[in-house]
């Protein structure tokens, strides 16, 4: 059994951060150790707002120290980070990553660089974006930005697939071993589809799924994609197979959500797709 330390946000109601990631990873057979960077009543895009707080400075470090004290860090196979409540939490996460890798040199760090951006309505604390671009990027083994986050990481504006591939390879050139661009958006080859790009030193792959017409776009899809990609890799699937399985499972979740006319992701209804996804689309290797 593989063990994943997942450090990201938590919402009491709905599906975002760990609330979107932990159950699917467990359904795939992973042992997941969640640490919450924030605890909110709900995600931040509800018109009525939200209640809750970011975890205080030292909280992540203290929990990691507790794990070290009971000598389990050597059994951790991967660290997944997502939404941060403060830039200081980012520094604590990198300390955790270093401790895990010291205890288990085979462990990997999967960084989902969640950044604030007006186009997606996401709010992050001051300094988080700078932390991700300057400190997390050089340490990450795998990064999973969306198009807007990839633009920020590379300080470039992207409008097509060729530019997006080049930007992803900038991250590979800086030491990242795999880049999953979770949503190509305006840079997609087919604007009417939801396209994702997987960039590796061995080659680039494109995959797509349907775009469903939601009255309000569900939140947490990116968190779900990162979690499923990491869990499939940890389950032993190669990068392309993990990419295809992730795409199929996310499509199943979005289809159930759309059919239910729901705002929150329908993870329970679609749970069979996490362990046994019906793969309708294969990844295309790009020239």
Which tokens is 281 given? 């689309």
Ligand-binding annotation for 112, yes or no, is yes
Query: Taking Cα atoms as reference points, which of 140, 90, 162, 83 lies closest to residue 116?
Result: 83
The answer to whether the annotation marks 149 as part of a ligand binding site is: yes
Please check if 182 is assigned to a binding site.
Answer: yes
Task: Tally the C-alpha atoms within 13 A of residue 183's C-alpha that lie toward its C-beta.
Answer: 21
Closest CA to 183 of 165, 196, 171, 192: 196
Instruction: Give the C-alpha distances (Å, rounded to integers) separating 62 from 35, 101, 221, 258.
Output: 11, 18, 30, 41
Tell me the DSSP string of 58-86. Answer: THHHHHHHHHHHTT-GGG--EEEE---S-
Q: Do the annotations mark residue 238 as ligand-binding? A: no
Using alpha carbons, select from 22, 287, 11 the residue that is nearest to residue 162: 287
**44 in a known ligand binding site:** yes
20 is in an annotated binding site: no
Residues 256, 260, 261, 262, CA torsion sign: negative
223 marked among binding-site residues: yes
261 is in an annotated binding site: no
Phi and psi, residue 231, nearest 5°: -65, -40
User: Binding site for substrate, residues?
Assistant: 9, 44-45, 223
User: Binding site for ATP, residues?
Assistant: 112, 144, 149, 182
User: Binding site, residues?
Assistant: 9, 44-45, 112, 144, 149, 182, 223
């Amino acid at each position: 059994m593989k063990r994943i330390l997942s450090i990201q946000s938590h919402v009491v109601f709905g599906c975002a951060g760990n609330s979107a990631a932990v159950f699917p990873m467990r359904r795939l057979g992973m042992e997941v150790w969640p640490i919450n960077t924030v605890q909110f009543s709900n995600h931040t895009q509800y018109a009525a707002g939200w209640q809750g707080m970011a975890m205080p400075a030292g909280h992540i470090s203290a929990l990691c120290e507790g794990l070290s004290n009971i000598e389990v860090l050597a059994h951790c196979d991967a660290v997944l980070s997502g939404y941060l409540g403060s830039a200081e939490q980012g520094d604590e996460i990198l300390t955790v990553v270093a401790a895990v890798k010291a205890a288990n040199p085979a462990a990997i760090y999967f960084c989902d660089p969640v950044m604030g951006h007006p186009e997606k309505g996401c709010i992050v604390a001051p300094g988080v974006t700078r932390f991700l671009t300057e400190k997390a990027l050089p340490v990450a083994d795998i990064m999973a930005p969306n198009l807007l986050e990839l633009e920020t990481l590379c300080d470039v504006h992207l409008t097509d697939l060729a530019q997006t591939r080049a930007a992803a390879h900038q991250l590979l050139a800086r030491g990242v071993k795999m880049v999953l661009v979770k949503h190509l958006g305006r840079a997609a080859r087919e604007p009417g589809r939801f396209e994702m790009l997987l960039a590796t030193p061995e080659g680039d792959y494109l995959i797509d799924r349907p775009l469903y017409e939601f009255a309000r776009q569900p939140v947490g899809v990116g968190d779900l994609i990162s979690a499923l990609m990491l869990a499939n890799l940890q389950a032993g699937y190669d990068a392309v197979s993990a990419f295809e399985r992730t795409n199929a499972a996310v499509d199943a979740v979005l289809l159930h959500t759309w059919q239910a006319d729901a705002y929150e992701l329908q993870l329970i209804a679609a749970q069979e797709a996490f362990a046994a996804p019906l793969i309708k689309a294969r990844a295309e290797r790009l020239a």
